[in-house]
Amino acid sequence: MTSLPAILLGFLISSLIGSAFHLIFGGNSGKLIYYLILSWIGFWIGQALANILGWEFLSLGQLHLGMAVLLSVIFLAIGYWLGLKPKTDDKNRL
């Protein structure tokens, strides 16, 4: 993939996914940056994986949107899960 419009569209779509995730799950501006970075990484890994394997799932020009969006959401879900803080119960503290 060498087309600049495809790269810009990919960053736009992945940024929208990360922003929508932040809108749904909330957080401060640090979380927004965290979600955007996770979404970008997941999107481009999904794009590269689909390109290497030759999968044509929901392609739009040079972008393999199906796999890219799927991995973007998976990365966001894993990042959200890893970022959760355990709830402590004051009664069970020693």
Where do the domains of the chain lie?
13-80
Question: For residues 82 and 41, what is the distance between their CA atoms, to the nearest angstrom?
Answer: 16
pLDDT, one tens digit per residue, over 29-54 is 889 999 999 999 999 999 999 999 98
pLDDT at 26: 84
pLDDT above 90: residue 69: yes
Tell me the pLDDT band of 20, cut-offs 50, 70 and 90: very high
pTM of the model: 0.82
Amino acid at 27: G
Give me the torsion for CA of 61, 65, 79, 37, rounded to 10°.
Answer: 20
Cα Rg, the chain, nearest whole Å: 16
